[in-house]
């Protein structure tokens, strides 16, 4: 690989676009590879014309209107939650499979550019992703044939990129990452040798694609009422709406025309119109940022924020910049290379991993200022149980949001009945930092069933342990001492894949992409 400072690449597996970067040992920063279209960004889209004819990337994105039933987009939003990403001709493809197809495509393009096979990668995820979503992302990398060396929070990757451009030592950074599908917020403190996460928040169903959709519906209602649009017309509207959104980030008005069954229609739009029809989306951004400000006011001095780092193409919108100016007046803003900042930062972090594991390999590119990452939990995790003497069930949190990782805690629960033969340990994640959380405010992410030996009295202790590792993967253990019964596992729901499925699907994806 040319000027390669690390053989581990960084990949921003995005909701709407994916990018792959390597660490340039001469420039000492991440550099993105181009795809077969000559673009740094590959659309996270897959069109299945048949099992033997699969279109990936920008061409698939442009086919979404013409072939909606066989084109998968925005499947990252289902990662680790659902098993069905899209079903075509009776074949169901999981979000992990779809992501793996996109990953394999960008890997193939990068290998052609760099002249070397790619085997290892750091893949980024929203900081707000819970343990199942992170594990599903690792599965996607494995399906693509990658050795996933780490899972990195996207906003933190943006900090690594910003730090490689201009040193951030001693600064408290607020990272606002608004990509195509997610809003991700991290507050981090940067020292001479580490990046320390302080707060994590976000909205996993809010991104630039939502602004596009709202703007498109406004145009339909206000300018195309009563008009009929064919498939090609719909595709033109989709493309031109996104172009208009981008132009309105630089200009206060724009014009374009759209074809309809009744003829072409000239449309003139202003930035004020765009901001008015998307004001509800901006309010959702405000809610998250206000929540972050409240957390900061409880534990830190808000005035200590030195720099706001922006990532994601949607942060170019003036309404986002205006909101930040309103909520954080006078703060410096870093907005360099927002489209590729996450992938480039992941490449810088990948280089750090390899330097730690194999210092001799990267000695010639040694960077003494490389910063280690100190992570925090993006969610709280606990186990459901009844309050003693009642029928009221709660989630008893054991690992709390924003605590330093890795974290491990034990809690002792008790059997409810005499001679109880099983204890079901249902594990939940939530956004609460209280000892107890409501079931309806929590999401069930997995369960363990502990078989109990012997006829034991009511109130027999059940020792439970939850461990959250540095990649945000959750390990659970249950133990009953008298009968010496024990169960433990990494959390795995039906949205995740069994080992046999991983191997079979990996072979299938490799075959599919050989014929694209």
Query: What are residue 75's phi and psi, to 5 degrees?
Result: -75, -15
Query: Model confidence at 508, in pLDDT bands (50, 70, 90)?
Result: low
Query: Model confidence at 498, in pLDDT bands (50, 70, 90)?
Result: low
pLDDT tens for 151-169 read 999 999 999 999 887 778 8
Tell me the DSSP string of 38-79: S-S-EESEEEEEETTEEEESHHHHHTTTTSTTTEEESGGGGT
Query: Model confidence at 358, in pLDDT bands (50, 70, 90)?
Result: low
How many Cα atoms occupy the beta-carbon half-sphere of 274 within 13 Å? Answer: 28
Residue 499 pLDDT = 57
Residue 507 pLDDT = 61
**Cβ-based burial of 447 (10 A; exposed 0-12, middle 13-18, buried ≥19):** middle
- Please report, for residues 25, 95, 200, the alpha-carbon distance to residue 359 in angstroms, rounded to integers and kept in the order given: 14, 36, 31
In the numeric block, the tokens 């280690």 are attached to 372
DSSP code of residue 390: S
Residue 5 pLDDT = 57
| Contact between residue 140 and residue 169 where contact means Cβ atoms under 8 Å apart | no
Residue 368 pLDDT = 43
Domain 380-483 has CATH 2.60.34.10: yes
Query: Model confidence at 512, in pLDDT bands (50, 70, 90)?
Result: low
- Please report, for residues 89, 96, 103, 144, 351, the alpha-carbon distance to residue 513 in angstroms, rounded to integers and kept in the order given: 18, 15, 11, 10, 28
Give the domain ranges of the chain.
380-483
pLDDT tens for 368-399 read 456 888 999 988 999 999 988 888 999 999 99
| pLDDT > 70: percent of the chain | 90
In the numeric block, the tokens 């969610």 are attached to 379
Tell me the DSSP string of 92-140: EE-HHHHHHHHHHHHHHHHHHHHTS---EEEEEE-TT--HHHHHHHHHH
Residue 515 pLDDT = 37
DSSP code of residue 6: -
In the numeric block, the tokens 């990668």 are attached to 121
Residue 325 pLDDT > 80: yes
For residue 368, the tally of other CB atoms under 10 A from its CB is 6
Please tell me the distance from the alpha carbon of residue 318 to that of residue 248, in angstroms, as a whole number.
9
Please tell me the distance from the alpha carbon of residue 405 to that of residue 392, in angstroms, as a whole number.
31
Please tell me the distance from the alpha carbon of residue 285 to that of residue 4, in angstroms, as a whole number.
38
The torsion of the CA quartet 342, 344, 350, 356, rounded to 10 degrees, works out to -110
DSSP code of residue 180: S
Residue 294 pLDDT = 86
pLDDT tens for 1-59 read 455 656 899 999 999 999 999 998 888 889 999 999 999 999 999 999 988 889 999 99
Residue 152 pLDDT = 94
Residue 303 pLDDT > 70: no
How many Cα atoms occupy the beta-carbon half-sphere of 49 within 13 Å? Answer: 11
Give the sheet arrangement for strand 194-203, strand by strand: 332-334, 305-311, 172-178, 183-190, 194-203, 372-374
Of 355 and 329, the structure prediction assigns the larger pLDDT to 329
- Where residue 101 falls (left for φ over 0; alpha for ψ -120 to 50; beta otherwise) is alpha
Residue 355 pLDDT > 90: no
Q: In whole numbers, what is the pLDDT of the chain averaged over residues?
A: 88
Per-residue pLDDT averaged across 224-247, rounded? 93
Q: Where are the alpha helices (DSSP H) in 224-340?
A: 231-247, 271-277, 279-299, 318-327
Please tell me the distance from the alpha carbon of residue 183 to that of residue 311, in angstroms, as a whole number.
10
Residue 436 pLDDT = 93
Residue 506 pLDDT = 61
Per-residue pLDDT averaged across 323-352, rounded? 93
DSSP code of residue 467: E
Three-state DSSP class for residue 512:
helix
Closest CA to 430 of 421, 417, 439, 422: 439
């Amino acid at each position: 690989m040319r000027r390669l400072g690390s053989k581990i690449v960084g990949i921003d597996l995005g909701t709407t676009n994916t990018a792959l970067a390597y660490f340039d040992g001469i420039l000492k920063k991440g550099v993105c590879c181009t795809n077969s279209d000559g673009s740094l960004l590959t659309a996270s889209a897959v069109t299945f014309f048949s099992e033997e004819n699969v279109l990936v990337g920008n061409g698939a994105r442009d086919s979404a209107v013409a072939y909606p039933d066989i084109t998968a987009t925005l499947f990252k939003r289902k990662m680790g939650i659902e098993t069905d990403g899209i079903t075509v001709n009776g074949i169901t493809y999981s979000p992990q499979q779809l992501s793996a197809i996109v990953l394999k495509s960008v890997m193939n393009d990068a290998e052609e550019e760099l002249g070397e096979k790619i085997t290892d990668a750091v893949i980024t995820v929203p900081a707000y992703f819970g343990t199942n979503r992170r594990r599903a992302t690792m599965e996607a990398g494995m399906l693509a044939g990658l050795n996933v060396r780490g899972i990195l929070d996207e906003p933190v990757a943006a900090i690594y990129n910003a730090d490689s451009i201009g040193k951030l030592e001693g600064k408290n950074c607020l990272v606002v990452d608004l990509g195509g599908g997610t809003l991700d917020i991290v507050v981090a403190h940067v020292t001479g040798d580490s990046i320390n996460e302080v707060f994590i928040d976000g909205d996993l169903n809010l991104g630039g694609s939502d602004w596009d959709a709202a703007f498109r519906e406004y145009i339909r209602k206000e300018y195309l009422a009563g008009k009929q649009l064919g498939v090609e017309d719909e595709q033109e509207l989709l493309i031109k709406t996104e172009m208009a959104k981008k132009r309105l980030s630089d200009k206060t008005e724009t014009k374009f025309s759209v074809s309809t069954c009744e003829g072409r229609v000239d449309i003139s739009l202003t930035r004020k119109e765009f901001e008015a029809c998307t004001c509800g989306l901006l309010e959702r951004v405000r809610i998250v940022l206000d929540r972050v400000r409240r957390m900061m006011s409880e534990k830190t001095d808000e005035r200590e924020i030195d720099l706001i780092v922006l990532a994601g193409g949607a942060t170019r919108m003036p309404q986002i910049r205006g909101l930040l100016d309103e909520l954080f007046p006078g703060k410096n803003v870093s907005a360099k290379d927002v489209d590729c900042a996450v992938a480039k930062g992941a490449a810088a972090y990948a280089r750090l991993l390899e330097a730690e594991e194999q210092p001799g390999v990267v000695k010639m590119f040694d960077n003494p200022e490389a910063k280690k990452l100190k992570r925090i939990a993006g969610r709280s995790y606990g186990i459901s149980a009844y309050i003693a003497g009642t029928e009221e069930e709660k989630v008893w949190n054991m690992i709390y949001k924003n605590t330093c990782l890795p974290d491990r805690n034990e809690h002792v629960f008790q059997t409810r009945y005499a001679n109880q033969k099983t204890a079901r340990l249902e594990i939940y994640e939530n956004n609460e930092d209280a000892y107890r959380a409501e079931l309806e405010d929590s999401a069930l992410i997995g369960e363990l069933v502990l078989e109990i030996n012997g006829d034991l009295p009511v109130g027999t202790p059940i020792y439970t342990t939850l461990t959250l590792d540095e990649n945000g993967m959750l390990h659970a253990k249950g133990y009953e001492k008298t009968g010496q019964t024990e169960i433990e596992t990494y959390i795995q729901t039906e949205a995740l894949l069994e080992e046999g499925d991983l191997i079979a699907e990996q072979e299938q994806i490799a075959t599919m992409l050989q014929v694209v």
